[in-house]
A and B are shown apart, each in its own frame.
Chain A
């Protein structure tokens, strides 16, 4: 039976980690993820977990400590945000290419500058091609549930890639919501232990991260790419098992009122909740609207998105990240690519929204649907790359 509680998103993630009882946490504080290692270090001090907590002098060192630990055969976790993730950059690639399934609780926050501590997705979006799996949460419950599933996915022998469990800074990380926790015995049985076939502390000598010459580098990268491809199946397998335990189902994407939707949004994270309220309001007024929320951004659910969206008339792809490509945000570009081969396919419009904690309201989302309706009526997107709620 689940345990009913009220927790902030950070506390929920820290509590999930306490229940999992990983071997090592290497972490350095940064707003708004600071509470995760803070709560967790209390569990360590109280003897409630067996984890070795490694306090470090920077995020570069935090991830380095996790890389060493994971290569030694330990289950290693860390948490960070924004510039902390940016400082991990070099090691993000080392972890992924060395096939070390480290778990990182990413509490999404804007990147400097101007310096800003509030939510957007520019930090983890920047790391989208570092080889890490990325799961995003709409609610505290999803942040908790994603954390419980993350290690099973990342450590699967067909995947062997690190995973970021992302949630929106302050919006879910600091807001307290009702939550249903899984009993600790059940969590430990579900999450199991990390048992790599080879590790530095294993019975035979091993080298990790050797120099790679041109004759082999591409084969290693192709092998790594296959881990990401395989992750789609593993995410769904783990989700089915999780659903049997909790009754809570998860996919790569979540659809809301998409059956006959003419206009739809595609978005990531907590704003999906706001958009769902707008969808329900507009549905009550007879509008055929829906939304697709992306849970797994890496691997990218291209086929699933194409299937969900191809019968729409107009779709707004919403990036909580200023992609400075001068051609829309990164999610927009990837959704366009996913739909390129689909026939029929909808008109696609890019919206950049919610940067640096800019509030996103139900009214904002309704305005997007109104503009989509206009786009559908005129049959062409006059301005395909739009910014939502920016003064000008």
Chain B
């Protein structure tokens, strides 16, 4: 029996060390999973147009819009799949929706 934590299960893990049946022995492990690499479109935050109405943050299906002290911050592209819902709901054009080039830095330090 292997009781590896989710963060220890990476793509170089050997079969001898993997958990039986892929079982996950902790909760809330989605935060460790990079889902941002699926993106073909990316939302871009324009802080100068943002009124901090916070309509966008709760519509995000993942955790790509961090909110701190009642204010949204720039996108966390580690989680952003590029669904575009935030872009749709923003009444102030503070979010633009652009083609993902994967040339620029995604927010997690990886291009």
Contacts and interface: CB of A to CB of B under 8 A. Distances in A.
A204 interface: yes
Contacts of B13: 216, 219
A285 to B, nearest CB: 53
A207 B27 CA distance: 8
A8 B64 CA distance: 64
B53 to A, nearest CB: 35
A223 B15 contact: yes
Interface residues of B, number: 18
B22 interface: yes
A160 interface: yes
A72 to B, nearest CB: 13
Contacts of A219: 13-15, 18
A230 interface: no
Given A204-B26, A219-B14, A222-B15, A157 B1 contact: yes
A99 B21 contact: yes
B22 A210 contact: yes
B109 to A, nearest CB: 21
A245 B106 CA distance: 65
Contacts of B92: none
Interface of B: 1, 3, 9, 11, 13-16, 18, 20-27, 29
Q: How large is the interface on A (under 10, 10 to 19, 20 to 34, 35 or more residues)?
A: 20 to 34
A337 interface: no
A172 interface: no
Given A197-B1, A216-B9, A206 B23 contact: yes
Interface string A214-226: 0110111011101
B38 to A, nearest CB: 12
Contacts of B24: 206-207, 210
Nearest to A218: B15
B36 to A, nearest CB: 15
Given A205-B27, A215-B11, A220 B1 contact: no
Interface in A199-237: 204-210, 212, 215-216, 218-220, 222-224, 226-227
Nearest to A160: B20
A64 to B, nearest CB: 16
